[in-house]
């Protein structure tokens, strides 16, 4: 029913960010039924991000892709990235996953791990002593910096819960709104890594309250994290609005959370799935700010234009091609199916809307599917009351059906009359019964 039908392997020659993977050129047998010609170029993808999110994304790709060589590539890059940092816990996990498949260079490097741990212990002690000193001195600013450093330390070592706690503790020692914004941004970063998006929403609103300290980059950051939280909460319409409001100043400044390509992809897909035509035109197609983002992912731009101009077959084809890569995205993974289904349903509804009768053969051609599967989809939509129509199964035509107002009014009137009749009669009866009971009780009293 969904985009898998469309992926007939017809590749579109497009200048797009996910270049055909050169290193893993062999199309080894994939366990997933998606036949898409383009695979994710992991290096290019990973280059978009920095910091901890890069590692999490690489690990996610390694887990979810069915391709062994791609998996090893992802793990290799994750290994390199972790070695640059100080997270020994994650290091051990990745080593276990690699399992010696990448050769001796990528084996468990216990020497390095121990060195890092020892360094961490020393630093932790130092930080604690400093913090205690500051606390006895009761200088707010230094206490705040102390807690902040602690938070950074725990974050670098992968202890996200402690990091979060420390960042939140700085709240009591924030004196200017700049401090508050700084704290909120840190808290948001950790919450996203932990996957607790309720915190993200609350801290975003907290940060937005201190208006004066916000420059346009920070505002853009806050908007897209709000959008991310809403996406996780499956509120696609609101998420789309947030993403579309993100200013182009975001640029590459927030790569430890999200890349501008992602803003375009998430915003575009959510908007397509939840906006109606008017909103789609005004907020997406005519939106100059968002155009900068869409330039980065021309496929999404083409896809939205196709949808608006009713070229549903090519729109659904683009979607099909993108699907494999989108399933590897850490935030979008759970929502791809739902969004695709919603977009497809909207396409079907929009197609049938202006017509009194539609030939199902032509419609099946337009959507690149067979008449019987189309009929089943339409039946589901009609039963859910999203299309007002009836299917003539013999001649394979869809007839729009407009409710006869007069008849329905009469029917409703008669029905209401009957219900009122019934209810009042039973009410009078019950009142009578209670009265008699009451009388009985009263007579028993005397």
Neighbours of 313 (CB within 10 A): 15
In total, the chain counts a number of residues equal to 446
DSSP secondary-structure letter at 30?
Answer: P
Please identify which residue in 3, 284, 296, 391 interacts with another protein, judged by CB under 8 A: 391
Nearer of residues 286 and 421 to another protein, judged by Cβ: 421
Please identify which residue in 383, 402, 405, 446 interacts with another protein, judged by CB under 8 A: 383
| Secondary structure class of 39 (helix, strand, coil) | coil
The 323-362 contact track toward another protein, x by CB under 8 A, reads ----------------------------------------
Question: Whose structure tokens read 């209670």?
Answer: 434
Nearer of residues 29 and 446 to another protein, judged by Cβ: 446
Site for another protein in 415-434 (CB under 8 A): 417-418, 420-422, 424-434
Quick one: how many helices (H) and strands (E) in the chain?
20, 3
Conformational region of residue 234, where left means phi above 0, alpha means psi within -120 to 50, and beta covers everything else: left
Assigned token pair, 377: 């989809």
Contact 324, 32 (CB under 8 A): yes
CA angle, corner 179, sides to 176 and 182, nearest 5? 155
Tell the smallest beta-carbon distance from residue 361 to another protein (Å): 16
Tell the smallest beta-carbon distance from residue 383 to another protein (Å): 6
Nearer of residues 333 and 425 to another protein, judged by Cβ: 425
Nearer of residues 324 and 378 to another protein, judged by Cβ: 378
Spatial neighbors of 207 by CB under 8 A, at least 6 apart, are: 180, 181, 184, 185, 188, 214, 218, 222
Contact 149, 182 (CB under 8 A): no
The 362-381 contact track toward another protein, x by CB under 8 A, reads -----------------x--
Q: Does 390 bind another protein (CB under 8 A)?
A: yes
Nearer of residues 156 and 382 to another protein, judged by Cβ: 382
The rounded distance, in Å, linking the Cα atoms of 156 and 89 is 11
DSSP secondary-structure letter at 171?
Answer: G
Q: Does 444 bind another protein (CB under 8 A)?
A: no
Please identify which residue in 199, 382, 386, 400 interacts with another protein, judged by CB under 8 A: 382
Q: Does 438 bind another protein (CB under 8 A)?
A: yes
Tell the smallest beta-carbon distance from residue 321 to another protein (Å): 33
The rounded distance, in Å, linking the Cα atoms of 291 and 439 is 79
Please identify which residue in 31, 84, 394, 444 interacts with another protein, judged by CB under 8 A: 394
Q: Does 234 bind another protein (CB under 8 A)?
A: no
Q: How many residues bind another protein (CB under 8 A)?
A: 36
Spatial neighbors of 375 by CB under 8 A, at least 6 apart, are: 360, 391, 393, 396
Tell the smallest beta-carbon distance from residue 348 to another protein (Å): 14
Contact footprint for another protein (CB under 8 A):
379, 382-383, 390-395, 399, 404, 406-407, 410, 413-414, 417-418, 420-422, 424-434, 436-438, 442
């Amino acid at each position: 029913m969904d985009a898998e039908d469309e992926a007939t392997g017809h590749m579109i020659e497009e200048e797009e960010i996910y270049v055909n993977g050169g290193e893993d050129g062999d199309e080894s047998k994939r366990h997933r039924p998606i036949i898409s010609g383009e695979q994710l170029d992991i290096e290019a993808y990973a280059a978009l991000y920095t910091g901890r999110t890069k590692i999490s994304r690489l690990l996610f790709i390694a887990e979810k892709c069915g391709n062994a060589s791609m998996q090893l590539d992802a793990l290799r890059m994750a290994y390199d990235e972790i070695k640059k940092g100080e997270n020994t816990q994650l290091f051990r996990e990745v080593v276990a996953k690699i399992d010696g498949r990448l050769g001796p260079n990528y084996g468990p490097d216990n020497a390095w791990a121990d060195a890092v741990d020892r360094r961490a212990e020393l630093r932790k002690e130092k930080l604690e002593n400093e913090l205690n000193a500051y606390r006895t001195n009761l200088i707010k600013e230094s206490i705040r910096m102390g807690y902040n450093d602690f938070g950074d330390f725990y974050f670098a070592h992968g202890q996200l819960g402690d990091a979060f706690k420390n960042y939140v503790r700085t709240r009591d020692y924030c004196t200017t709104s700049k401090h508050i914004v700084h704290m909120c941004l840190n808290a948001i970063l950790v919450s996203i890594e932990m996957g607790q998006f309720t915190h993200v929403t609350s801290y975003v609103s907290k940060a937005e309250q201190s208006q004066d300290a916000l420059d346009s980059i920070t505002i853009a950051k806050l908007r897209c994290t709000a959008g991310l939280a809403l996406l996780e909460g499956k509120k696609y319409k609101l998420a789309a609005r947030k993403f579309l409001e993100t200013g182009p100043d975001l640029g590459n400044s927030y790569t430890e959370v999200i890349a501008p390509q992602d803003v375009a992809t998430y915003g575009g897909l959510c908007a397509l799935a939840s906006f109606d035509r008017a909103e789609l035109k005004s907020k997406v197609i005519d939106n100059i700010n968002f155009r900068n983002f869409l330039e980065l992912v021309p496929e999404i731009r083409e896809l939205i234009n196709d949808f608006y101009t009713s070229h549903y077959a090519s729109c659904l084809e683009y979607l099909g091609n993108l699907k494999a890569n989108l399933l590897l995205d850490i935030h979008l993974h759970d929502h791809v199916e739902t969004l695709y289904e919603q977009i497809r349903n909207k396409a079907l509804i929009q197609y049938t809307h202006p017509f009194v009768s539609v030939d199902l053969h032509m419609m099946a051609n337009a959507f690149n599917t067979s008449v019987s599967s189309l009929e089943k989809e339409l039946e589901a939509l009609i039963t859910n009351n999203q299309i007002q129509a009836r299917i003539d199964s013999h001649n394979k035509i869809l007839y729009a059906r407009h409710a006869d107002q007069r008849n329905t009014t009469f029917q409703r009137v008669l029905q209401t009359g009957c219900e009122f009749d019934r209810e009042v009669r039973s009410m009078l009866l019950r009142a009578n019964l209670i009265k008699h009971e009451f009388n009985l009780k009263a007579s028993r009293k005397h």
